Each structure stands twice: as C-alpha cells, then as structure tokens.
C-alpha cells in the first residue's frame, strides 16, 4: 500500500537549567509534516496543558441572555430572514433549532443555526440530544439549496464554541457555508487525494489513510458505526486535533440519520473529554461535497481552543500566524490514548 506522507524528524533543545543549579538540560522536539493537509507542526512533549477550570461565568456576566440576539426576547427582532425564493417562512426550523442568514456574511450563502433557545450550554452538556436539532436544521437547509439547483458543490457546517475560538456570542450556534469552489484547505485535500490516486495506480487516499492508521494503533481512537475517529498526525492547533471520517461517504447527502447519531455520540464524548481536561472552547468543521466525489470523503475536524493563564494569553502566536507552523505541546499519540478511554466508557 502506498505510504500517505507522514514525516517526522527529531531535534533537541539544550540549555543550562536555572531551576536545577544550572545543570545541562535537554528537551526533545519533534518536527512533523503531513503531506495530505500540508500542516507542519512542532510536537513538544515537555509542555503542559491548562491546569485551571476556565472561568465561564466571566463570559456570562459580559454577555447575559438579556442582550443576546439568539435568545427568545430579541430573536425575532434582531435576526435576518431568508428571501421568499429560498424559504417563504423566512427561517428554517427543525425541532428546537432554527437557521437563518448570517448578518455578517463572508460568502454569498452563509447562515447561522442555533441549537435551541438555551443561552449557554457547558461543554459537558453538549449531549447528542442537545446537538441533534442544530445539525438537522443545517441538513434541511442543504437539501433546500441542492433542490434549487444553482450549482453549489461544497458545503460545510462550522462551529466556534465560546470566545477563545472566535465565537462572537456565547449562545451556541453553528455556521454553514455552501460554495461553488472549495475553500483553500478543502482544495488542498482534494488535490492530495488526486495526486495519491495518480501515484498509486488508482488507490483511494482516504480509504488507505484509515486502514494504515487503524493498523498502526497509534492515533486511531475508535469507531462509531460508519465513522472512524483519529488524532491528527500533525495537528492544526496547540492542543492537538481530532478528526472523524465517514467511511465511503462521498457526498453530504450520503449521510443517513444513523450516521448523524453516530457523529453526535462521538462528538459528545470528545466534548466531555475537553470539559474534564479544563478546555473551554473549540473550532469544528464538517466538510462535504454536495455531489459524489470519490476524492473527498465527508469528514470533520475538531481543534480544542483555550486561553493561557494567568493573563489570558492567546493560543495563537507568530509561529502559527506568520510561519504557518503549529506549536503543539500535546502529543497526538497521547491524546489518542486519553480519548480512547472516553469512547470505551458506557454512558
């Protein structure tokens, strides 16, 4: 089977340690590069993770329900509606969830979906029941867009949960994008799959990636039905990255209700892990094509986000912003082991 292009190199940092009478100290650094994603990272096993429970009350005080445009009192007054050609009722509603146009769009079609009228849902309460309607209303919207036949090829469901990840409101909400062209990162993934197919005599990159990762038993977290959960080899965030692939699903519309349940079950376990480990925030994207494309399997990526105390330092820095490399003090293989315990535990 053709290799999938994971590279790593070891290097060592050296200094005389002020905390040990200036004795020589060596620290291992692993430089990683993933040819599929193009993500370069530095894995630093000596760094620590957030030790204190995050202060979510401070956010609630600054952004109470009384001034929230997604809470019932202001919702109808302050949220945009669709034009009648898309939906005469103005907003998509599924159960408790509601989807409407983004008031600050960054594409021709950019929407926001709230899960319910609930203003704040802590990480440990993001259960399948709490999330089901929110993802379902995005699916209903994508069906409507496909039905309109305007040539959209790519769709994604995205989530900035809480302000450290870029969330502008604490009221939990998803954002969708549909587009005719892929985003920069998705274009890279499709090109990687095409290159792999050409170089391997027709093999599928995503199928082989999952087979190789499952056999290696280093970063393969678990399976929930049709979904394989992995810790990314070279993560896109300082606290690592969790990926989930819907096996053999080559279009958003291949996903069944059962597949959504499998995803919600896995997500709730990842979020509970984040809660227990003092994270307060994450970015999530679920990427898909809207017509079948064998070079792109439907999949999602989750990057935990956090503030570094005591002064609320950002987890983004010049190395990521301006050199396009990630400093990651969480070892992906360790993250995998820790998450496995959450996937084997019974509810």
**Which residues form the interface with Zn ion (CB under 5 A)?**
68, 70-71, 119, 171
Closest to Zn ion by CB, 61 vs 85, is: 61
Minimum distance, C-beta of residue 114 to Zn ion, in the bound complex (Å): 8
Structure tokens at 248: 């053999």
Minimum distance, C-beta of residue 71 to Zn ion, in the bound complex (Å): 3
Closest to Zn ion by CB, 172 vs 235, is: 172
Residue number closest to Zn ion, CB atom: 68
> What φ, ψ does residue 299 adopt, rounded to 5°?
-155, 165
Closest to Zn ion by CB, 173 vs 219, is: 173
Closest to Zn ion by CB, 4 vs 170, is: 170
- Can you tell me the distance from the alpha carbon of 42 to that of 33, in angstroms, rounded to the nearest whole number? 9
Closest to Zn ion by CB, 166 vs 292, is: 166
Strands (E), 58-147: 92-94, 97-101, 110-114
**Sheet bearing 110-114, strands edge to edge:** 92-94, 97-101, 110-114, 173-179, 154-161, 281-289, 299-305, 242-246, 227-231, 220-224
H or E segment and range at residue 5: none
Closest to Zn ion by CB, 117 vs 153, is: 117
The SS3 assignment for 246 reads strand
**Nearest residue to 329 (alpha-carbon basis) of 83, 67, 91, 27:** 27
- Can you tell me the distance from the alpha carbon of 100 to that of 44, in angstroms, rounded to the nearest whole number? 42
Minimum distance, C-beta of residue 76 to Zn ion, in the bound complex (Å): 13
Closest to Zn ion by CB, 117 vs 127, is: 117
Minimum distance, C-beta of residue 168 to Zn ion, in the bound complex (Å): 12
Cis peptide bond prior to 204, omega within 30° of 0: no
- Can you tell me the distance from the alpha carbon of 55 to that of 345, in angstroms, rounded to the nearest whole number? 28
Minimum distance, C-beta of residue 127 to Zn ion, in the bound complex (Å): 19
**Nearest residue to 228 (alpha-carbon basis) of 193, 263, 202, 194:** 263
Closest to Zn ion by CB, 19 vs 104, is: 104
> Is residue 22 left, alpha or beta, with left meaning phi > 0 and alpha meaning psi from -120 to 50?
left
Structure tokens at 3: 């290799």
Distance of CA 270 to the CA centre of its chain: 11
Minimum distance, C-beta of residue 272 to Zn ion, in the bound complex (Å): 23
Minimum distance, C-beta of residue 112 to Zn ion, in the bound complex (Å): 12
Minimum distance, C-beta of residue 86 to Zn ion, in the bound complex (Å): 25
């Amino acid at each position: 089977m053709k290799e999938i292009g994971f590279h790593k190199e070891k290097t060592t940092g050296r200094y005389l340690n002020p905390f040990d009478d200036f004795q020589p100290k060596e620290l291992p650094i692993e430089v990683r590069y993933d040819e599929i994603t193009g993500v370069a990272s530095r894995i630093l096993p000596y760094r620590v993770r957030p030790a204190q429970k995050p202060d979510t009350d401070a956010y609630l005080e600054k952004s109470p329900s009384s001034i929230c445009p997604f809470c019932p009192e202001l919702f109808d007054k302050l949220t945009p509606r669709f034009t009648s050609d898309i939906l005469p009722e103005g907003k998509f509603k599924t159960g408790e969830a509601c989807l409407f146009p983004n008031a600050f769009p960054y594409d021709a079609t950019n929407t926001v979906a709230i899960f319910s009228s609930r203003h704040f849902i802590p990480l440990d309460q993001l259960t399948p029941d709490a999330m089901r309607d929110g993802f379902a209303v995005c699916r209903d919207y994508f069906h409507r867009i496909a039905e309109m036949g305007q040539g959209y090829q790519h769709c994604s469901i995205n989530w900035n949960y809480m302000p450290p990840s870029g969330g502008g409101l604490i009221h939990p909400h998803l954002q969708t994008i549909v587009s005719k062209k892929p985003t920069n990162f998705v274009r890279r993934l499709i090109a990687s799959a095409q290159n792999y197919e050409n170089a391997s005599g027709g093999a599928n990159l995503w199928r082989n990636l999952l087979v190789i990762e499952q056999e290696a038993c280093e970063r393969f977290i678990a399976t929930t039905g049709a979904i394989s959960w992995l810790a990314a080899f070279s993560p896109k965030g300082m606290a690592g990255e969790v990926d989930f692939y819907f096996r053999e699903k080559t279009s958003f519309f291949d996903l069944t209700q059962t597949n959504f349940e499998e995803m919600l079950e896995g997500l709730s376990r990842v979020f509970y892990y984040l809660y227990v480990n003092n994270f307060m925030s994450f970015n999530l994207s679920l990427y898909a094509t809207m017509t079948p494309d064998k070079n792109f399997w439907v999949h999602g990526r989750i990057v935990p986000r956090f503030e570094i105390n005591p002064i609320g330092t950002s987890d983004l820095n010049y190395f990521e912003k301006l050199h396009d490399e990630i400093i990651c003090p969480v070892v992906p293989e360790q993250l995998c082991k820790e998450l496995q315990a959450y996937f084997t535990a019974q509810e």
